[in-house]
Amino acid sequence: MIELLPLFIAIPLGGAFLITLTAWKLRRLADILGVCAGLPLLVLALLCIGKQGVYHVGAFLAPLGINLVLDGFSVLLLVIVNVIGFMALLYSISYMEQYTAKYKYYALFLLMVGGMNGVVLTGDMFNLFVFLEIASIASYALVAFGCEHEELEASFKYLVLGSIGSTFILLGVAVLYGLTGFLNMASIAQAVASMEKTWLLSFASVLFLVGFGIKAALVPFHPWLPDAHPSAPAPISAMLSGVLIKALGVYAITRVVFNVLGATPLFGIIIMVLGVLSMTIGVFLAVGQWDFKRLLAYHSISQMGYVVLGIGLGMFIIANNGPTLVAGMAIFGGIFHLANHAVFKSLLFLCSGSVEYQTGTRQLKSLGGLQEKMPVTGTTCTIASLSIAGIPPFNGFWSKLIIVIATVLAAFVFPGMLILTAITILVSFVTLISFLKVLRYVFLGELPSLFKQIKDSPFFMGISLVMLSLLCIGMGLLLIPGLRSVVFDPAVEALKQGLDYGKQILTGF
Amino acid sequence: MNGMSPIVQTVARFVKVFILLYGIYLTLTGHLTPGGGFAGGVVIASLYILLTLAYGKKFSLKYFPRKLAGSLDSVGALIFLVVAVLGFYFGGIFFANFLQKNYPGAEFSLLSAGTIPINNIAICIKVASSLFLVFIIMAVARIIDKKDGSKDYKQDQEKE
């Protein structure tokens, strides 16, 4: 399995260039090539579960060569990226008919997937930056894909802020290189573990925090997200909200802080504060929105707050030598919510795309009563809404429950943590209110006479909606110890080991 | 736009061969001297930009149409990828330099270093055509201010 790791980067890149080369004349070829590139990625990612190892590209050994690292945390993100990517590709077959130049869309989409796979797999800081730029630049273009006034403006805003973020990350990489003399993450981790902590190290970590914070749209750095995510075509919104901000933002910062720079109590507190800010501000901004996709975009900010809060809490406890069991639980809650959020948020964006595809509007006030006309979309959207609001037995409930329990347990050691419990539950409640509003205004109520003739989503759109909603219902099962120990425990262990990551990578698993 | 004055056009006509040769030289000797595919590609693209400035965009689009540039862009990337995947096949590892063992060549000669010159050529094709595309697309696109304050985007019709 390990020897096939480069395929995660080679298949999407090859697919993208083949599509631009061949598919501009034949309309259907782009669809076929796109799905042909997505399917093997999905299968390979699922085969990777439970495996770990290091791949040396070009047979050059670390620290000089680039290595691809597959460990528990990478596998989790790899599966999320490729599952959601495949669903979005299926959905695009019908949805993107309304746009011209569909082959360009597929090419950019595959470039984005290739970039994200690279970010998740790479074990080299500079390589991380390169893949991050591939994914970001493809997403700038995809946000502007409609070429209308609003989309171009949103894309430009995203471009400027995203470039600032990338610059910060590049500067951070440069500082780390100057400090340690390595670009390989494992070698940096070993060097950092043995050197004394200087202010330059903190400087580098602040640069990474700002850079990846912009990519993850944590609250002080969030203004691009509510414009960019609604402007993109629906499958791209699903990819951006569901996967991109996680792979480029949360995954990268978690990996860098835990395994390369080493967790410190202060950094844990900063990340927790950012998480709490994102949760509360995001959700209160979301309640007042009347644009379907914009509301979902604000909820992305809020839900990423949960993920970051769980991870930050774990970091804080580990850095303070608190009980590792509680730390493991907090991190587990965070990354479980990351996986769940990818599923239900992409499902919600795809549902909003279906509604917009059939009715031509996404203003909540001009919609209503669509449940009887679009039963599949209505049912799946209800499942996703209940899931994001944290209603049992859907997946969102379990991950929020674990985060809440972790904060309560942490409060036995660090008494101030109880306030986090209160905020977590309050935000979940406001989320419920806001999604009741969505259901009330879109799927219940009276059907406007304008929409008497509409039909449900076309086949390919419907099938990806149904599959994602099945995932929403089924992912609670991952809590069963047998499944959990395969999927999540390696990921938590990979983060908990901290700077031992370096030794593990360089000496082999 | 019909290009610039005859002085510029005459000078451009003289230097174009040298610029092209310099770009090819940088690319082919990229594994021996400073330079390489990217630098060579940029030089070649700058030749096209110079010709576009001197003779006008119709001239350069006549000899290097946009479709051809777009295809070459993908072809360059695909050659690079194919070399990497061939390393998989022959050397067992992605990006393995499978030619170096079988056809060593004298060190520091033009034909040495295995697959690296091939990669350099691929990068040169890719960089030259994509930089030319970036320039030409900026040259043919127009932003028109409408009377009501909004903006409209339009591309000049190219004659092929």
Domain positions in chain B are 6-143
Predicted pLDDT at B153: 60
Tell me the pLDDT band of B146, cut-offs 50, 70 and 90. Answer: low
Judging contacts by C-beta atoms under 8 Å, the chain B residues touching residue A3 are 92-93
In this prediction, residues B69-88 reach a mean pLDDT of: 88
pLDDT by residue for chain A (509 residues), tens digit each?
788 888 899 999 999 999 888 877 777 888 888 888 899 999 999 998 888 888 888 778 878 888 899 988 999 999 999 999 999 999 998 888 888 788 889 999 999 999 999 999 998 999 999 999 999 999 999 999 887 888 889 999 999 999 999 999 999 999 999 999 889 998 999 888 888 888 888 899 999 999 999 999 998 899 999 989 888 999 999 999 989 999 999 999 999 999 888 888 899 999 999 999 999 999 999 998 899 999 999 999 999 999 999 999 999 999 988 888 899 999 999 999 999 999 999 999 999 999 888 888 888 888 888 888 888 999 999 999 999 998 888 888 999 999 999 999 998 888 888 899 999 999 999 999 999 998 888 888 888 888 888 888 888 899 999 999 999 998 888 888 888 888 888 888 888 888 888 888 887 66
What confidence tens digit (pLDDT) does each residue in B87-135 have? 888 777 888 777 776 666 677 777 777 788 888 999 999 999 999 988 8
A480 touches chain B (CB under 8 A): no
* C-alpha distance from B22 to closest chain A C-alpha (Å): 28
H or E, element range at B133: helix B116-140
Proportion of chain B in helix, strand, coil states, percent, rounded to 5: 65, 5, 30
Of A17, A57, A59, the CB nearest to B78: A17
Residue of B nearest to A13 (CA): B81
Query: Who's near A205: CB < 8 A, 6+ residues apart?
Result: A172, A256, A257, A261, A267
CA atoms of A249 and A251, how far apart (whole Å): 6
Predicted pLDDT at A322: 84
Residue of A nearest to B153 (CA): A147
CB contact under 8 A, B93 and A18: no
Judge whether A168 and A129 are in contact, CB under 8 Å.
no
Judge whether A81 and A113 are in contact, CB under 8 Å.
yes
* C-alpha distance from A157 to closest chain B C-alpha (Å): 18
* C-alpha distance from B90 to closest chain A C-alpha (Å): 12
Map tokens 């998989």 to a residue: B88
* Residue of B38, B71, B93 to mutate when probing chain A, most A C-beta within 10 A: B93
* C-alpha distance from A454 to closest chain B C-alpha (Å): 32
CA nearest to A351, candidates A322, A380, A324: A380
Look up residue B146 and give its two tokens. Answer: 């409408």
Judge whether A350 and A367 are in contact, CB under 8 Å.
no
* Residue of A8, A22, A57 to mutate when probing chain B, most B C-beta within 10 A: A57
E-strand stretches of B3-157:
141-145, 151-155
Judge whether A308 and A292 are in contact, CB under 8 Å.
no
| Alpha helices, DSSP H, located in A48-148 | 72-95, 102-121, 125-143
Judging contacts by C-beta atoms under 8 Å, the chain A residues touching residue B97 are 58
List the Cα angle A151/A451/A358 in 5-degree steps. Answer: 40
The Cβ-side half-sphere exposure at A508, using a 13 Å CA radius, reads 4
ipTM of the complex: 0.84
CA nearest to B122, candidates B38, B44, B48, B66: B38
Lowest mean pLDDT among A5-19, A495-509, B23-37, B46-60: A495-509
C-alpha distance from residue A12 to each of A41, A140, B20 (Å): 8, 18, 33
Of A14, A58, A147, the CB nearest to B78: A14
